[in-house]
Structure formats: C-alpha cells, structure tokens
Amino acid sequence: MARRESLHGQWSSRMAFVLAATGAAVGLGNIWKFPYMTGENGGGAFVIIYLACVLAIGLPIFMAEALLGRRGRRNPINTMKLLSEEEAGGGWWQLVGWMGVLAGVLILSYYSVIAGWTFFYAWDTAAGVFTDATKAVVNTEFDDLMASWPWLLALHTIFIGLTVFVVARGVEQGLEAAVKYLMPALFILLLVLVGYAMSTEHFADAMGYMFKPDFSQVTGGTILAAMGQAFFSLSLGMGAIMAYGAYLPDDSSIGETSLTVVFADTSVALLAGLAIFPIVLQHGLNPGAGPELIFKTLPLAFGSMPGGQVFGTLFFVLLIFAAWSSSIGLIEPACARLVENHNMSRRKAAMLVGAVVWVIGIGSVLSFNVFSGEEYQFMAGTWFDNMDYLTSNIMLPLGGLLIALFAGWVMCKSSTVEELEMGTGFRYNVWSFLIRFLAPIALVIVFLNATGLLGKLG
C-alpha cells in the first residue's frame, strides 16, 4: 500500500519521536504513583512483576498503537475510520478513536489540577516554608491549598495555558521543540536527585526494598496492581501514542523505537523510587503512604534534611516537567482532529480544546472544597473522583483492549508485517501472540478488577 503522508508534518528523527512518546508516557504516574504503589505492594516483588507486565502487556500494545497511528497518518478518530474501512469494510472502529480523544480531554481536565499543585509546592519549598517544619505545618499547608478554590483555579489555568502554548506551535516547532528540552532536563534532575539520595544512610536499604523480592507478600492484588500500572504508566488507550505515531518517519523501526520508549519510561519510574525511598526511610516515614507520599511525606522529609530546600525544589520542578510533557500528548489528538476535519489553524484548535478542558476542570477544582461535601457526591464520589474512575477504570483499559483486538485480529497479517518491518519470523510471532492472546486477556482482567466486577464474579 502506498504510504500516506501526515497532514501535520512529522518528527524530524526517530529520536524526536522517542522523546515525545516518552514525554507523553512519563508523568505524575511514574514519579508519584509508581513509588507509592511499590510501597503499598511489598517492594521488590511488585517491581519484578511490574517489569514482566511492561514487557508482556505494555510493549506489544504500545507497538500496536504506534503502528495504527503511522498506518493511518491521521488523528486517532480518522485513523481508526480509515483502517477500519480498509481492513474490515466498515467504519465503526472509529469509536475507539473517539474514546481515546475524549479520554485525553477528560484526563487532562483533572490531571492539570493535580499538576498545578506542583507549582505551589515548588514555590513553597524554594521559599523555605517546609524547612524544619512539623508534620502539623505540612498538613496545614496542604489542607489550606485544597480549601482555596481561587488558588487551585489559578494553578489549573497556568498549567492549561502552558500546554496550549506548546501544542499551538505545531509538531516540529511546538511538540518536538518542547520535549527536546523537557525530557533531557527531566532525566538530569532525576539523576541529580538520585545522587542526593545516595548520600543518605538508607540508600542501600532502599535498593533492597525495591529490588530484593519477598514473594511471600505477593497476592492476587499485587499482580493486578502491577498489570494495571504497567498499562497506565505508558499512557496507552488515550490516543496520544496513536497521534504521535502518525508523525513517525517511515524509516523508523516501530519495534526498536517502542522498546526504547518503554525502557526510558520504566527507567524514570525506577529512578523515581531510588530518589524517593531513601529520603522516606531516612526519616522513618511510611513508603506506602499512598497519594500523600509526594505532597505530605516528602515535604516533611526535605524540610529536615541538609540541602533539602534546594533538592526539594528540584524535585517539584521535576514533577512540573513530567506533568507538562505528558499533558501535551493528552491534548494533541483532539487538536489534530479539529485541524483535519474543521480546517482550523493549530493555534485556534489548541485554544478551543484548552478552553473546553479548562471548563471541565473547574469541577475537579471545586471537588476539593466547595463541592467536597457528601451532598455533592454521586456514583464514585466527587466530580474529580468520577472523572478519574471513568477514564482510568473504564475508558483506558477498554480502549487498550480494543486496540489490541483490532491490531491482532482485524488487521490482516500483511498490513502489520509491512508496518512493523520485523519480517514474519520469531519476533513477529512473539508480538502476534502477545497482542492477540495475552494482552487482551490481561486487559479484560484489569478492566474487571478496576470496575469491581472481578470481585463480584469471584
């Protein structure tokens, strides 16, 4: 089949795609969620199971999403429509694209609210607010921020504005130019923080905690948590990788490129653990403190450490970079859709999508204060809780499952062979087995577990 050309340009090189896709994948989930999930699920055993799930589930689906994007060379909705008509003779698979684009918009609406907190904490840490602070002071600072909807709205607005600014400039001048600086800066900051953690007395304990497995602590819940984190940490099922794949040069190997991105994404998660756990253990704090680990536990730890003001500030700047790079990938599919189907300029499309995301995000801002009471809660809880539940537990695993089924069962072998360029030997057969059988089964289990249906079936 003659290769299509992207309507938006393409990455200047394979490395540009690697940086962009890694930026989309690396976010608060790697630096915030992975460490506390490791803490909650017993350390080293969880890490080993997580790595196995990344290779067996995450990597093949990442490759599938990238190959669909490059095959269609359009936004996720149009790509799935085109490929569905070519491969199956009908266009209903475009609903997968719609779900991914919508998921990206909804996720960014509450993700930007959480990301906004990192600006506040970077400023507070730099200003010395947490230096020698007590637990009560740290908790009060967090509670006061949550109670102030004007502050949360302002931070949410700043973050959306930064995201729109990048996406409005296009693929090469916006997306590529941003990740070219953001991702190296992120890795440098992370390595500096790991170096700082190595100077503490508990770095060896943290290494043992993360990499010395105790399989006696492994339960079915541990395996399910690792499977879910392996899928979500790569930003699969939300259209970002498919959109970025549409800009991938024809001469770039999808297999090698995907493996590089998966390696980089996983490295960030592991390095984040090595940066965080020594500091937590040094002060006798709980590494399984859940979401509070970043915004309550770590400020307390940094505040009592030599150089903690500097390195704590660097840590929150690191979070800003990670959140910013991933938010770009969340908004890009919707912007590409408006440019392609409604002849909008990139700038107008980015501003329109940004405005929609900003408005939806107001519900999440108010979920922590004005609308936090029980009388305002429904279904899964607050507006924020419902957005998180809908996207994380339903839309993303379902989208990933449908992508796996389409790439593995609907697309003809010649199409996937041509796009992956791995031949028809061992490597292709392994990918085909994983995408057709193991990944769908795993995602069905993740979906049933996330929605609570697994327990009911059991």
Q: What is the 3-state secondary structure (H, E, C) of 109-153?
A: HHHHHHHHHHHHHHHHHHCCCCCCCCHHHHHHHHHHHHHCHHHHH
Does 404 score more than 80 pLDDT?
yes
Give me the mean pLDDT over the 198-211 stretch.
86
Give 232's pLDDT tier (boundaries 50, 70, 90). confident
**d(C-alpha 416, C-alpha 82), whole Å:** 15
pLDDT at 5: 81
**pLDDT digit string, tens, across residues 406-424:** 999 999 999 999 999 898 8
pLDDT at 78: 95
Give me the mean pLDDT over the 187-194 stretch.
91
Instruction: Decide if 200 contacts 415 (C-beta within 8 A).
Output: no
Distances (CA, A) of 197 to 91, 160, 227, 271, 420: 53, 32, 28, 10, 41
pLDDT at 364: 96
Give me the mean pLDDT over the 200-213 stretch.
86
What is the pLDDT of the chain when averaged over all its residues? 90
Does 384 score more than 90 pLDDT?
yes
Give 37's pLDDT tier (boundaries 50, 70, 90). confident
Does 291 score more than 70 pLDDT?
no
Does 456 score more than 70 pLDDT?
no
Q: Which residue has the higher pLDDT, 286 or 139?
A: 139
Sign of CA dihedral 451, 220, 44, 261: negative
Give 93's pLDDT tier (boundaries 50, 70, 90). very high
Prediction pTM value: 0.93
pLDDT at 221: 83
pLDDT at 2: 57
Does 236 score more than 80 pLDDT?
yes
Compute the residue count for the chain. 458
Give me the mean pLDDT over the 254-260 stretch.
94
Residue among 448, 33, 82, 106 nearest 265 (CA) = 33
Give me the mean pLDDT over the 368-372 stretch.
93
Distances (CA, A) of 190 to 15, 245, 281, 324: 20, 27, 18, 16
Nearby residues of 61 by Cβ (< 8 Å), 6 or more positions away = 231, 234, 236, 237, 400, 403, 404, 435, 439, 443
Give me the mean pLDDT over the 344-368 stretch.
96
Q: Could you give the percent of the chain with pLDDT greater than 90?
A: 59
Lowest mean pLDDT among 29-33, 84-88, 288-292: 288-292
Give 243's pLDDT tier (boundaries 50, 70, 90). very high
